[in-house]
Structure 1
Amino acid sequence: MKISVIVPVYNAEKYVAQAVESALQFDEVYEVILVEDKSPDNALEVCQQLTEKYDRVKLFQHPDKGNHGAGATRNLGLEKAGGDFIAFLDADDYYLPNRFDAEKELFKDPKVEGVYGALGVHYYSEKAKEQYYSLFKDNLTTVYRKHDPKDVFPGQLNMKGSFGLFSIDCLTVRREQMIQKLKPLFKTHLRLHQDTEFLFRLSYYLDLYPGILDKAVAMRGVHENNRITTVDSQKVNPATTRVLLWREVNNWAQHEDTIPEDIKRHIGRMQRSYEIALAPAVKKWGMITKYLITDYPSIRSGIYNINFRKYLF
């Protein structure tokens, strides 16, 4: 295996060295591609030091040296990647020693186009743990049992009951198949949830298989200055960003002729459930009354949606 690990770097000077070194522990990692996205801290200098220290580390920036977001930054990394396989790693996260154990066996089968595993949680400070423990706890982000690849796409859409989730940090894919089947790759106009949208489409076009699901293969680093903290400090309503996500997914689904109609309806209802939750009070109850009569599943979709319940009243 020749794995290219793509690391978008933004505001991660304290953590990127750990991320890089966690990837370099594997002989299968052909290269670690750092793409620096005009960080406000000293991350660029740290990345330059890493390229001087390690032959397998390569550093890139956008042509204009500007900030373009995680989607465009990962796309640039994919453009520069030379490995047969692609793995992703956020600059404040890190791999565990078992990260590619399942992949080394599963990818011997040519029909396996991608493998996903479980993500753990590491709090970098007591303050971060105090602030975000209620969100992440010490839980694994994982798919709860092994599923056939055909069930991964509807499972992520909440059509398979308690399916669970997997993180982009725990995904490994065959490079050529991904590039051939997924166009565009990451959508650059989505500043948040572009990785979720990417995983939805990827799981539709590629056959993804379960790797290690019962224990972490990588760790999510939670600290005061990562993306979720920034969003929280700006008082961004999580349901607002989810509306944008589901609008994007719905637009793609409606233009993809091979997606079954029941799945398209479900995606539309997920979008609608968030839009109901965000509507002004008077309009909200009018929408709820309307859909209780004309499309009750839109309301039912929302009932299982934590942000729908949180922002409903």
Structure 2
Amino acid sequence: MQISVIIPVYNAEKYVRQAVESALSQPEVAEVILIEDASSDKSFNVCQELANEYPRVKLFRHKDQKNHGASASRNLGIQKANFDYIAFLDADDFYLPRRFKLASKKLNKCSEIDGVYEAVGIYFQDKESQEKWAFIGRSSRKLTTVNIIIEPDFLFETLLKKQEVGWFHADGLVVRKTIFERTGYFDENLEFSEDIVMWLKMAAVGKLIPGSLDIPVAMRRVHSHNHVTRFHKKLLYYSNLPRWETLFIWGYKNRLEPIKLALLFSQYADSITNQTLETKANLLPRNLYKLYKAITMITLIIKYPRIIQSLRHLWGFKKIIFMNKSMNLLRS
């Protein structure tokens, strides 16, 4: 198994060497692709040093040598990758020993599997970063992980509807390169949540399975310049309307299977309703909220008429579930 590790680099001169060397230490890594994204510090110089020092390190920049963000950098990395498996690593994070041992076994064993996701731990750079992490309500999270075993056929729906099952991080994912033929590339219009959107696309059209969910395979570094700690409010905004709008439009254009598209439609309608009502959404009676959402859905159906077929499938599916539950109750 040969893996291309893609590392977008922006203002990470202090950390990128550790990231690269942690990847090179993995026997499965055939190349490390650095996409230097017009940093204002000395990141480019460090990347040049690494590329000169290690033959497996390939360094690229965007054609105009301007800053384009994580999505565009990952996309360029995917296009430059020479091997069949893709893994990601943020420039301020690092892999742990035997990062790909379990994932490679699972992928080699079953050709139908598109990727493996595993747990990622947290490394605090200093006390200040740990305090900021606690301030935004994340101090209880020791791992970024999905905390239950989910069959790949149910991963999309579970991630969509059950926040308590957790999530996976880019550092803990390895996929076959061919999955991007179905998902497309990372959305370059999203400033935040572009990774979550991609993972949901992968879960919708591919088969992702769990690897190590309780022992981390990589560490995400928390420091004062992290996006999560610096732009927490912005991150919360992008986790709502922009995320669901992007996913629904992608699913609609790509004719995602009806039940999955209907679920995205419901999430999209919810996000529009919540934004319209702003802080009042949680204070309204349930029936009144449903009325607002119904109006939103009608407006969207007019704009996206093909969604009616998907909604019919979802209503039919729910009817079958209801009937099965009723029959089980009668039998008991």
Worse-matched range after superposition: 271-280 or 2-11:
271-280
Q: What's the CA shift string for 1:189-214, capped at 9, x where partnerless?
A: 11211111111111122211111111
Q: Could you list the runs of 5+ residues in structure 2 that have no partner in the other structure?
A: 297-332
Aligned to 1:255: 253
Change in Cα spacing, 1:47 to 1:288, as seen in structure 2 (3 Å) is: farther
Aligned to 1:267: 264
Q: Could you list the runs of 5+ residues in structure 1 that have no partner in the other structure?
A: 299-313
Amino acid at match of 1:245: R
Change in Cα spacing, 1:269 to 1:288, as seen in structure 2 (3 Å) is: farther
Change in Cα spacing, 1:99 to 1:227, as seen in structure 2 (3 Å) is: same
**Deviation, structure 1 residue 256:** 3.9
RMSD over aligned Cα, in angstroms? 2.4
- Percent sequence identity is 38
* Contact residue 276 and residue 288 of structure 1 kept, 8 A: no
* Contact residue 118 and residue 216 of structure 1 kept, 8 A: yes
Moved over 4 A (4+): 280-289, 293-296
After the TM superposition, which residues 57-96 of structure 1 pair with which residues of structure 2 at under 5 Å, given as runs?
Answer: 57-96=57-96
Task: State how many pairs are aligned.
Answer: 291
Change in Cα spacing, 1:161 to 1:124, as seen in structure 2 (3 Å) is: closer
CA separation in 1, counterparts of 2:181 and 2:268? 28
**Deviation, structure 1 residue 221:** 0.8
* Contact residue 269 and residue 293 of structure 2 kept, 8 A: no
Q: What SS class does the counterpart of residue 144 from structure 2 fall into?
A: coil
Q: What SS class does the counterpart of residue 216 from structure 1 fall into?
A: coil
CA separation in 2, counterparts of 1:90 and 1:219? 10
* Contact residue 117 and residue 211 of structure 2 kept, 8 A: yes
Aligned to 2:237: 239
The counterpart of 1:172, out of the listed 165, 174, 177, is 174
Q: What SS class does the counterpart of residue 249 from structure 2 fall into?
A: helix
* Contact residue 32 and residue 56 of structure 1 kept, 8 A: yes
* Contact residue 120 and residue 218 of structure 1 kept, 8 A: yes
Change in Cα spacing, 1:280 to 1:103, as seen in structure 2 (3 Å) is: closer
Amino acid at match of 1:172: V
Q: For the pair shown, which has the larger CA radius of gyration, 1 or 2?
A: 2
**Deviation, structure 1 residue 165:** 0.9
Q: What's the CA shift string for 1:268-311, capped at 9, x where partnerless?
A: 33334344444466975679754334759x9xxxxxxxxxxxxx
**Deviation, structure 1 residue 241:** 4.9
Aligned to 1:186: 186
**Deviation, structure 1 residue 55:** 1.4
Report the TM-score, using the length of structure 1 for normalisation: 0.85
Amino acid at match of 2:142: N
* Contact residue 47 and residue 59 of structure 1 kept, 8 A: yes
Q: What SS class does the counterpart of residue 135 from structure 1 fall into?
A: coil
CA separation in 2, counterparts of 1:6 and 1:65? 18
* Contact residue 114 and residue 209 of structure 1 kept, 8 A: yes
Change in Cα spacing, 1:280 to 1:143, as seen in structure 2 (3 Å) is: closer
**Deviation, structure 1 residue 104:** 2.2
Worse-matched range after superposition: 137-146 or 119-128:
137-146
Q: What SS class does the counterpart of residue 221 from structure 1 fall into?
A: strand
* Contact residue 84 and residue 174 of structure 1 kept, 8 A: yes
